[in-house]
Amino acid sequence: MERLPLKSKVLNENQRIAEELRERYRNSGTLCLNLISSPGSGKTALLERTLASLDPSTRVAVLTGDLQTDNDARRLARFGFPVQQITTGGTCHLDGRMIEKHLAVWDLDEIDLLFVENVGNLVCPSSYDLGEASKIVLLSVTEGEDKPLKYPSIFFKSDLFVLTKIDLLPYVPFDADVAEANARRIHPEIEIVRASATAPGGMEAWLEWLRARTAAFKERAAVAGSVM
């Protein structure tokens, strides 16, 4: 019985920090996207291909979370953009305090796009707001079509569902249409794109979504600035 008040206190404190982060992103014009999936769904591979596709002058940065090791940060740093590893030491999610701490060494005014690669988990990260503009949930075709029904919270809270590793569809017993229908049972308005980090052209739908979301964010920021 004593756990519930403690959990509520932790989440309330996280929400306070998340609102402060959201205000900082708004003031700096930084679009923050929070990528969430179970382990092995391809978050890092998606980010690798995304960073490789960007002009070197793009003002993008990445915070990547993991229980141990800095393997993902080293993979992503190869593309020349600012990257930091957040090692949680066993915590199954990133929280606002971790984000706040690691952003302290960067000037947000110099970052237009911030990717947060969350710890591999479909449960815990759904409860923690990081001040992001959007949560993005990834599911690979090597998992089950019923994942959206088993883990409804993260699909309900996400703006985008990226179905990854679609190049493997001919070789696995996975029905992409069923997986997408299950996601829309939980969140009828969720946007969905299919992606492959290895197949030619496999990133186009995701990159087009990213371009559109970035343009919309800049337009809203410009309107807000003119009103002020």
Q: Give the whole-angstrom CA distance, residue 145 versus residue 183.
A: 9
- Spatial separation of the C-alpha atoms in residues 160 and 151, rounded to whole Å: 15
CA distance linking residue 179 with residue 17, whole number of Å: 34
The model's pLDDT over 11-23, given as tens digits with 9 standing for 90+, comes to 899 999 999 999 9
> For position 2, what pLDDT does the model report?
47
Q: Under 8 Å CB-to-CB from 10, ≥6 apart: which residues?
A: none
Token pair, residue 113, equals 């796009």
3-state class of 205 per DSSP? helix
pLDDT (tens digit per residue) in 167-224: 999 999 999 999 999 999 999 999 999 999 999 999 999 999 999 999 999 888 877 7
Q: So what CATH class is 13-216?
A: alpha beta
Q: Are strands 191-194 and 134-140 parallel, antiparallel or unpaired?
A: unpaired
List the chain domain ranges.
13-216
Cut 0.85: pTM above it = yes
Q: Tell me how far CA of residue 66 lies from CA of 196, 218, 220, in angstroms.
A: 23, 30, 33
